[in-house]
Amino acid sequence: MKDTFNREINYLRVSVTDRCDLRCVYCMKENMNFLPKSEILSSEEINSICSTFIELGVKKIRITGGEPLIKKGMPNILEYLGKKLKKTNLEELTITTNGTQLYKFAELIKKNGVKRINVSLDSLDPTKYLKITRGGNLEQVLEGLNIAKKIGLKIKINTVALKNTNINEIDKLVEWCANKEFDITFIEVMPMDMENSMRLKQYYPLTKVKSFLEKRYTLINTNINTGGPSRYVKIKNSNIKIGFITPLSNNFCESCNRVRLTCTGKIYSCLGHDKFIDLKKALLKNKKELKNLILKSILLKPKSHEFEINKTNKNKNLERTMNVTGG
């Protein structure tokens, strides 16, 4: 599938639920009102949509949330897509998780063909982690990471850079990942579903993070492409990669190859735009209708997103949340 800017679209990110067992300060409100369960796609509906995307040329699927590992139908989804890895053109199945349930699910994940996972971790300080996640247990996450590593899952840590919160841990996080043989990607905050002033308080440009790391390490630029938005460097004399996802300070739109399926069945061809195509009703019709709507959604993909951190507070703020859209 190609969009109107001749970009090959072969990567689908799937939010399987809006529910999460954490309330991270950059993702959702503390007293979050989740969607009625009747509005959430079932595992069977998710499988049907994913299957159609695979038929249309998608080669990589990433399962996200919310927290995907708390969805009751998650084993069914993993088993179904795991079989697609063996029988179709699907080349990779990956998961992004907050890690709280990893100690339970690592074996199941590995069994169904997942080779690498992304785990969100913004602090190695238990008190700070508790504050950022509004209730998370760091030790539980670390236990899950150790189990996942032991059984052979490749792990990448995702860290959101938060001004006045975890910036002083950048060096510690990199050293810890190097010792664990985990890759790490730093991410700028996404201006979604909160007043722009809130995001402005949290925003810390990754140009500063990279500059800090360059003073501490010898960084080597790479051409590594994992199919996502990260730009990677390597530390000299180390095997770990450090990635930077910079939607605000240096966007990656020119090479964007992905679309997002929300947990309610909407396809967003761009994280930073409000236009979407609703696939849920098409599930009640036939596969031809579903395919036509998917192809239509690809043609809606804009040249670039509209994310902006604006000190005047005049820019448009996207009202949907990351947990519904997919992190």
Asked whether residue 54 is domain-assigned, the answer is: yes
Question: Domain residues for 292?
Answer: 11-325
- Read off φ and ψ for residue 318, nearest 5 degrees: -70, 130
Instruction: Please give the structure tokens belonging to residue 249.
Output: 């300070």
> How far apart (Å, rounded) are the C-alpha atoms in residues 72 and 318?
29
Instruction: List the structure tokens of 15.
Output: 């939010």
Q: Looking at residue 194, what is its pLDDT?
A: 53
pLDDT at 327: 54
Q: Is residue 2 part of a domain?
A: no
Structure tokens at 43: 């595992």
Q: Which of 58, 60, 63, 59 is nearest to 41 (CA)?
A: 63
- Asked whether residue 3 is assigned to any structural domain, the reply reads no
pLDDT in tens, 165-215: 999 999 999 999 999 999 999 999 876 655 555 767 889 999 999 999 999
For the stretch 144-155, pLDDT in tens is: 999 999 999 999
Burial label, 288 (beta-carbon count in 10 A; 0-12, 13-18, 19+): exposed
Structure tokens given for 160: 């959101």
- Report which of residues 280 and 228 the model is more confident about: 280
- State the Cα–Cα distance between residues 62 and 228, nearest whole angstrom: 10
252 located within any domain: yes
Question: Residue 286 is encoded by which pair of tokens?
Answer: 């036939």
List Cβ<8 Å contacts ≥24 apart for 124-129.
124/169, 124/172, 124/173, 124/176, 125/169, 128/165, 128/166, 128/169
Interval 104-146: pLDDT, tens: 999 999 999 999 999 999 999 999 999 999 999 999 999 999 9
> What percent of the chain clears pLDDT 90, i.e. is strictly above it?
72
Q: Is residue 251 part of a domain?
A: yes
- How far is CA 325 from each of CA 40, 115, 253, 259, 267, rounded to the nearest angstrom? 12, 24, 18, 10, 9
Residue 154: strand pairing partners = 116
| Domain assignment present for 153 | yes
Q: Is the pLDDT of residue 315 over 50?
A: no
Average pLDDT, the chain: 89
Q: What is the pLDDT of residue 248?
A: 65
What pLDDT score was predicted for residue 311?
47
Q: Where is pLDDT greater, at 157 or 229?
A: 157
Q: Are strands 266-268 and 241-245 parallel, antiparallel or unpaired?
A: unpaired
Give per-residue pLDDT as tens, 270-301. Answer: 877 788 999 998 998 889 999 999 999 999 88
Assess contact for 88 and 118: CB atoms under 8 A. no
Residue 76, pLDDT above cutoff 80 = yes
Residue 262, domain CATH: 3.20.20.70
Residue 58 per-residue DSSP state? -
247 found inside a domain: yes
- The dihedral formed by the CA atoms of 170, 172, 178 and 180, expressed in degrees to the nearest 10: -120
306 inside domain:
yes
How far, in Å, CA of 64 to CA of 261, rounded? 10
Domain count, the chain: 1
**Cβ atoms of residues 121 and 160 within 8 Å:** no
